[in-house]
């Protein structure tokens, strides 16, 4: 039987094999293969940057560099949660083969998307460095912390939604409806000071707001709301714990619903 203790050697090994599988599967039959990691966000940035700079009066020297950090964070978050929510149904062939630590399925998606995110971010930073502006290198030391924070939030929501979706398939549709709304409730294409007061208060306490703003602070030095950081860290932890507990209580019964 596969070593079930979390973080045991077998556990890491299995996770590693799943990550490798995920990478292989994703770009297997695509001619451009891994290039899609870069093509996608660049096209997205060009389109959105082109459109929104006419509508959103953000006071910044370059709207593209304002937009890009937030967009990358958002892409990682939304792709991962959207892919993970129905994942236990998609991977039922694995679940019907053996008893193994099922959280590795969710984590493998998180890790692969995190790699994509980091690669895209590196390209952006290089671009910044060569073409646009000076880089505040000392601020980049915060990056590992930001990534961890974002990853914990994403993993917590992924575990929560994927576990609930096994029994209640409505969850998947709900998440699909929620994501576009959440995108506009996060200051990605706009900055929070452009909002009317009531809307700003709402957006301020969105856990994604602080993550997007702090990465933008690292890149171009725009301001961050300190209270929103603490609110976000706290809600991240709560979401993760709830997600983990729901997953733990339900994972051994997944087979009954698949």
Partner 1 sequence: MTGSKKNNEVHVQLTDVYKRYSPAVGSHLRNQKTRLVLSEVTIEINKGERVGLIGSNGAGKTTLLKVIAGISKISSGKLVVNGRVNSLMELGAGFYPDLTGRENILLNGMLAGASRKEVRRSMNDIIKFSGIAKFIDYPFYTYSAGMKLRLAFSVAIHASPDILLFDEIVAMGDEKFIKTFQDYFSRVLKEKKTVIFATHVLDVLPLYCNRVIWMDEGKVRMDGETKKVIEKYKKEMKKRKDDS
Length of the chain: 258
Measured distance between the N- and C-terminal CA atoms of the chain, rounded to whole angstroms: 22
Contact 45, 62 (CB under 8 A): no
Tokens 């094999």 correspond to: 17
**Whose CA is closest to 109, among 44, 211, 19, 16?**
19
Output the smallest distance, CB 112 to partner 1, in A. Answer: 15
3-state secondary structure of 48: helix
**Choice between 173 and 202, CB closer to partner 1:** 173
Closest distance between partner 1 and the C-beta of residue 18, in Å? 7
13 or 193, CB closer to partner 1? 13
Looking at the Cβ atoms of 6 and 17, the one nearer to partner 1 is: 17
Q: Which is nearer to partner 1, 24 or 59 (CB)?
A: 24
Q: Cα separation of 243 and 163, whole Å?
A: 8
Where on the chain is the footprint of partner 1 (CB under 8 A)? 1-2, 10, 13-14, 16-18, 21, 24-25, 28-29, 93-100, 167-170, 252-253, 255-257
Ramachandran class of 157: left when φ > 0, alpha when ψ lies in -120 to 50, beta otherwise:
alpha
Reference 243, options 35, 62, 81; nearest CA is 81
The CB-of-87 to partner 1 minimum distance in angstroms stands at 14
- Give the shortest CB-33-to-partner 1 separation in angstroms: 14
- Is the Cβ of residue 78 or residue 250 nearer to partner 1 in the bound state? 250
Measured in whole angstroms, the distance separating CA 117 from the mean position of its chain's CA atoms is 9
Query: What's the closest the beta carbon of residue 9 comes to partner 1, in angstroms?
Result: 8
Distance CA(91)–CA(195), nearest Å, equals 42
Q: Which is nearer to partner 1, 16 or 193 (CB)?
A: 16
Supply the minimum distance, in Å, between the C-beta of residue 182 and partner 1: 24
Tell me how far apart the alpha carbons of residues 202 and 101 are, in angstroms, rounded to a whole number.
38
């Amino acid at each position: 039987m596969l070593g079930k203790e979390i973080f045991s050697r077998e556990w890491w090994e299995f996770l590693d094999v799943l990550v490798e599988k995920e990478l292989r599967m994703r770009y297997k039959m695509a001619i451009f293969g891994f290039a899609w990691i870069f093509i996608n966000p660049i096209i997205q940035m060009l389109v959105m940057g082109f459109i929104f700079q006419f509508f959103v009066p953000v006071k910044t020297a370059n709207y593209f560099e304002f937009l890009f950090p937030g967009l990358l964070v958002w892409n990682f978050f939304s792709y991962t949660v959207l892919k993970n929510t129905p994942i236990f149904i998609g991977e039922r062939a694995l679940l019907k083969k053996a008893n193994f630590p099922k959280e590795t399925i969710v984590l493998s998606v998180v890790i692969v998307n995190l790699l994509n995110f980091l690669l895209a971010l590196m390209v952006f930073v290089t671009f910044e460095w060569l073409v646009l502006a000076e880089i505040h290198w000392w601020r980049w030391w915060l990056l590992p912390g930001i990534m961890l924070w974002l990853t914990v939030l994403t993993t917590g929501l992924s575990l929560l939604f994927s576990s609930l979706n096994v029994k209640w398939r409505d969850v998947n549709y709900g998440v699909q409806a929620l994501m576009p709304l959440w995108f506009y409730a996060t200051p990605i294409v706009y900055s929070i000071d452009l909002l009317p007061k009531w809307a700003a208060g709402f957006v301020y306490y969105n856990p994604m707001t602080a993550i997007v703003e702090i990465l933008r602070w690292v890149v171009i030095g725009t301001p961050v709301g300190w209270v929103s950081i603490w609110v976000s860290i706290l809600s991240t932890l709560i979401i993760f714990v709830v997600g983990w507990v729901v997953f733990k209580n339900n994972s051994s019964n997944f087979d009954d619903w698949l």
